[in-house]
Amino acid sequence: MTSSASRRDFLNVSWQLSAGAVVAPVLSACGGGQSTPETFVEPLRIQSVNGVLDYTLRMAYADLQIDGKPVHLRTYNAMIPAPTLQLRAGEVLRLRVQNDLPSNPASTEPVTHLRYMNSANLHTHGLHVSPRMLAPGLYGDYVVDDPNSAVQPGTSRQHEYAIASDHPIGTSWYHPHLHGSTAIQVGSGMAGAILIMGDLDQVPEIAAARDRVMVFQAPVFDAQGRLESFSQVTSPTAEPPFLINGVRRPRLVLRPGEVQRWRLVNAGIANYLNLALDGHSLQLIALDSCPRRRPKAYPAEAETGLVLAPGNRADVLIQAGAPGRYQLRTKAYDMGFPSPLAADILAEVVVEGEPLNMRLPAGDLPVSSMLDPITDAELAAKGGLRRKVVLRSVFNDNGDPLTMAPAADVLDQPGSELSQWQYQTDGTFFSDTAFTVGTGNGLASTSPAMPQRFAPFQSHRATRQTVALDSVEEWTVYNMNAVQHPFHIHINPFQVVKVNGLPVEPYWADTIGLPRGGTAQVPTSVTFRTRFTDFTGLYVMHCHILAHEDMGMMQLVEVT
């Protein structure tokens, strides 16, 4: 949207709350000798009341303006982005999804699971919560529906998430996650931030900083302002330039010396962000709602900035420098596609007015015990199983169908299922292509030889990783493609320990870009350790290029 949230917007959402407080956005800079108006728009923020945040997310089309263009897109509550939900560790989040979209239209998509673009479910990306159905009619982070069991147009679903008192503090987000419709729905702008508050926010220097949410989105639409075909979200160039909270290149105004906390959410469907702010350092205090013991600085002069894959979040502190005008940029970035992502200006930052004497944190930051380092001893004592998972796009460059070699040599092809794996939609690059996840159990530790069979998620032969509750495991995820697939696993964050087989300073995340440049003969890889704690049930891991996920680059995880 191109204008600030109005007081009318503020009042219109109040009726949807049964337990929650709407926080009015700050509309512009004022005082302290500042005269330049802000155009930055803070998403509507809703806070818990008496330990509960109870809210309804209404899915419906909305007529909006995006960068001056009229659009008719699927939204939550007629907003892009959707409201920010704020609660404390130890509280309860209750979300009701009301699907007021029209019935699924008659579809020409040649693959069955892509024909349900108005059916949905809900994923709370970054929350360590139950993935199960909690009781009849009550759901946790349940995303393993088939298209017919999802929230259909005209129906609703009630979710409840109990946030543990020791839950990591930071920024998560929510979005739809039905297999086959995720890219279209998130590509419409259906996403919002979730803020889990706690001890990190009580660090004096952080508590004094102004807290701002920045949801980076790039809604996809055609000349009529609509997104109604899967082909619109499949091309690497489909994503337009990023908006911040629905605004193209907003302006923020700070005073010299002022410290602000920016919560950055890459809610795009495919493209990475390579962030830098002219003349300033971005001080990373949490990645993927996993706080760091010590902030990590990303100076503007560095060749590579703060890189956020689709799905990543970063909490950063910024201290304004000398008066002047600066630009928040995404630098050019090579994802492994034929052309690198172009550099772009995302926002203008104006520093003016009377100086403020504020400080950045000097000591260690508080970190939840859930994010304690996983030692070799703990790994060995808790099972120590090592698994290998492989992501691969399989295709024939010469246009031959997947029944021909070399693709036929690696894909499982159980007869009637093949029609769900290869097709052409509107002449896109998905012609004769399968996006798949395979098991790596046959991978020799001393050889680059890969497993020879792959199956996409919609296949009855898709792989399921079965894991014991309270076990600790080490997984290596291999990338057999040039493109930098972003890997995400639900429910439990992971500690990255190696990249391409070489040790790195360990850090926690829930989404990571696999190194680009992989091949079937010499794959790239990331190795991580993770604890499967607290919750049993079924959930998924997948590529967070959402068209790849919808085409089958996803796999089940079952904790028993």
Is residue 2 a part of any domain in this protein? no
Same domain, 442 and 542: yes
- Nearest CA to 44 out of 101, 95, 5 is that of 5
Distance from C-alpha of 117 to C-alpha of 125, rounded to nearest angstrom: 20
Q: What is the pLDDT of residue 390?
A: 92
pLDDT of residue 447: 45
509: CB partners within 8 A, 6+ apart: 287, 288, 290, 312, 493, 494, 496
Domain boundary among 151, 180, 200: 200
User: Residues 486, 454: one domain?
Assistant: yes
Contact status, residue 284 vs residue 292, Cβ threshold 8 Å:
yes
Report the 10 Å Cβ neighbour count for 546.
Answer: 28
Alpha carbon distance 74, 178 (integer Å): 15
**86 exposure class (CB count in 10 Å sphere: 0-12, 13-18, 19+):** buried
Same domain, 210 and 195: no
State the residue for tokens 């199956």: 455
Bridge partners (DSSP) of residue 542 are: 488, 554
- Residue 418: its pLDDT value, please? 83
188 and 157 share one domain: yes
CB 56 within 8 A of CB 363: no
Cα 388 to chain centroid distance, Å, stands at 23
Q: Which two tokens stand for residue 227?
A: 């997104």
The conformation of residue 547, written as its DSSP 8-state character, comes to H
Sole residue written with tokens 């502190």: 317
Report the distance separating Cα 559 and Cα 471, nearest Å. Answer: 9
**Domain, as residue range, for 77:** 7-200
Note the pTM of the prediction, 2 decimals: 0.94
* Same-domain status, 156 and 223: no
The last residue of a domain, from among 154, 180, 200: 200
Same domain, 329 and 415: no
Q: Is residue 366 part of a domain?
A: no
Written as tens digits, the pLDDT of the chain (560 aa) is: 433 333 334 434 443 455 677 875 554 455 688 899 999 999 999 999 999 999 999 999 999 999 999 999 999 999 999 999 999 999 999 999 999 999 999 987 888 999 999 999 999 999 999 999 999 999 999 999 999 999 999 999 999 999 999 999 999 999 999 999 999 999 999 999 999 999 999 999 999 999 999 999 999 999 999 999 998 998 767 789 999 999 999 999 999 999 999 999 999 999 999 999 999 999 999 999 999 999 999 999 998 999 999 999 999 999 999 999 999 999 999 999 989 999 999 999 999 999 999 999 999 999 999 999 999 999 999 999 999 999 999 888 777 888 888 888 888 876 778 888 877 777 666 666 888 888 765 544 444 445 567 889 998 888 899 999 999 999 999 999 999 999 999 999 999 999 999 999 999 999 999 999 998 888 999 999 999 999 999 999 999 999 999 999 999 999 99
Q: Are residues 515 and 383 in the same domain?
A: yes
> How many residues does this entry show for the chain?
560
Q: For residue 360, tell me if it sits in a domain.
A: no
- Provide φ and ψ at 249, rounded to 5°: 50, 60
Contact 122, 97 (CB under 8 A): yes
Residues 519, 372 contacting (CB under 8 angstroms): no
Quick one: tokens of 457? 């998620």
Residues 14 and 114 in one domain: yes
What is the spatial distance between Cα 431 and Cα 425, in angstroms, rounded to a whole number? 7
What is d(CA 327, CA 313) in angstroms, rounded to the nearest whole number?
Answer: 20
- Domain-ending residue, one of 282, 317, 351: 351
Rounded to whole angstroms, how far apart are CA atoms 268 and 149? 26
Residues paired with 274 in a beta bridge: 307
Domain shared by 393 and 270, yes or no: no
Q: Say if 137 falls within a structural domain.
A: yes
Q: Give the dihedral of Cα atoms 465, 466, 468, 471; nearest 10 deg.
A: -10
Q: How far does the chain reach from its first CA to its final CA, in angstroms? A: 44
Which pLDDT belongs to residue 19?
63
Q: Where are the alpha helices (DSSP H) in 316-438?
A: 376-381
Helices and strands, counts by H and E, the chain:
5, 35
Number of domains within the chain:
3
**Contacting residues for 281 by C-beta, under 8 A, at least 6 apart:** 297, 298, 299, 300, 318
User: Is residue 240 domain-shared with residue 313, that is, in the same domain?
Assistant: yes
In a domain, 365, yes or no: no
Any domain includes 367: no
Is the domain of 130 the same as that of 14?
yes
What local confidence, expressed as pLDDT, does residue 22 receive? Answer: 80
As a whole number of angstroms, the distance between CA 451 and CA 439 comes to 7
Is there a domain that residue 423 lies in? yes
pLDDT at 21 (0 to 100): 75
CATH number at residue 53: 2.60.40.420
Q: Do residues 175 and 227 share a domain?
A: no
